[in-house]
């Protein structure tokens, strides 16, 4: 399951990097594509970054399949927020639309190879992963303590994969 999560993240990260190289965030002094897995980040009291995608993983259930190995289905949530580029934040809705557009673009095509990225070079694990088209939930606006307004959205994707075969 971990390899499926890693492969999903790396696929989206590489696509975002080529689609929109300017969409980056600074983490620990290093610039990287503005997509990250929340559970892989260092715990911090800092608020989440603006204009970046946070991936969170949800429920995993086996689907009804005929093969020897069950096809697993995992919920993936992508969360992002923005306050726009202008001081007045009047363009926050338009900026959220651009984030939506980039998200839909990096989710196509909806498949990738499942690989082990902990070895160098990464190793193909022999199967693939594929996912559903993102469902964009209603955008929510939040008033911040400093008076600014931010708008955020959750997107839901179903990720399908075969569980890893553990050698005996």
- Per-residue tokens: 77: 């949530």
Q: Is 133 in the site for another protein (CB under 8 A)?
A: no
- Per-residue tokens: 128: 């693939």
Q: Is 93 left (phi over 0), alpha (psi -120 to 50) or beta?
A: alpha
Among 21, 29, 67, 147, binds another protein (CB under 8 A): 29
Give the shortest CB-132-to-another protein separation in angstroms. Answer: 23
Residues that contact another protein, how many (by CB under 8 A): 21
Compare residues 28 and 66 and give the one whose CB is closer to another protein: 28
Please tell me the distance from the alpha carbon of residue 77 to that of residue 14, in angstroms, as a whole number. 18
Q: Is 104 in the site for another protein (CB under 8 A)?
A: no
Among 117, 140, 142, 144, binds another protein (CB under 8 A): 117
Among 36, 103, 107, 151, binds another protein (CB under 8 A): 36
Residues 6+ apart with CB under 8 A from 97: none
Compare residues 42 and 166 and give the one whose CB is closer to another protein: 42
* Spatial contact of 89 and 148, defined as CB atoms under 8 Å apart: yes
Please tell me the distance from the alpha carbon of residue 31 to that of residue 33, in angstroms, as a whole number. 7
Q: Is 43 in the site for another protein (CB under 8 A)?
A: yes
C-alpha distances in angstroms, 30 versus 25, 33, 69? 8, 10, 40
Positions in the binding site for another protein (CB under 8 A): 6, 9-10, 13, 28-32, 36-37, 39-46, 117-118
């Amino acid at each position: 399951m971990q390899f499926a999560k890693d492969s999903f993240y790396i696929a989206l990260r590489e696509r975002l990097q080529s689609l929109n190289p300017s969409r980056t965030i600074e983490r620990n002094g290093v610039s990287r594509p503005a997509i990250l897995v929340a559970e892989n980040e260092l715990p911090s009291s800092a608020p989440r970054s603006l204009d970046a995608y946070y991936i969170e993983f949800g429920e995993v259930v086996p689907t009804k399949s005929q093969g020897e190995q069950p096809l697993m289905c995992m919920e993936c949530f992508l969360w992002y927020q923005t306050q726009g580029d202008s001081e007045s934040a009047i363009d926050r809705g338009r900026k959220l639309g651009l984030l939506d557009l980039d998200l839909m673009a990096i989710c196509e095509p909806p498949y990738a190879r499942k690989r082990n990225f902990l070895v160098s070079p990464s190793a193909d694990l022999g199967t693939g992963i594929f996912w559903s088209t993102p469902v964009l939930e209603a955008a929510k606006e939040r008033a911040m303590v400093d008076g600014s307004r931010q708008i955020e959205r959750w997107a839901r994707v179903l990720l399908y994969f075969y569980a890893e075969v553990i050698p005996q």
